[in-house]
Amino acid sequence: MTLPIGCAAPQFTAKDTHGNTVSLSDFTGKTVILYFYPKDDTPGCTRQAQSFKAAHEEYKGKDIVVLGVSRDNEESHKKFTEKYGLPFQLLADVDGKITKAYDVEKGDYAKRVTFVIDGTGKIIQVYEGENLKVDSHAQDILVTIV
């Protein structure tokens, strides 16, 4: 079962698109959109990433950080980021530790689930299943959390 609203978000450290080490604790005090997706450069995942790209300036203006997580490696993330000009970090969860910690593991992939984490590290919203529409996902989040 996916982690519930109100619980503490599991801490993690991972490499991003550019090989930088990123930890959830780096964003203390900010709202973090932590979105898990199955695979780079697939139709649904691409549309979801483009949704976040389109809303990037609005998120940035509200001091909200977007982090995408999949089981793909850094090189795959780099190609995906460059191909679509993604302005946010993608985290490589090659060993699956983050997907396991957030209980979104689905074999060798992550399920499509998004967590909104407040500045204190608490999960304040979860999007999955029918309430996650890849094309409008970023805007749907803005409507509910702002």
pLDDT tens-place string over residues 33-81: 999 999 999 999 999 999 999 999 999 999 999 999 999 999 999 999 9
> CA 3, CA 138: separation in Å to the nearest integer?
20
Contacts of 124 (CB under 8 A, 6+ apart): 5, 6, 116, 117, 118, 145
> CA 90, CA 92: separation in Å to the nearest integer?
7
Q: Beta-carbon neighbour count of residue 130 at 10 Å?
A: 6
Against a cut of 0.85, is the pTM above it? Answer: yes
So which residues are the catalytic ones? 45
pLDDT of 93 higher than 70? yes
Tell me the Cα Rg of the chain: 14
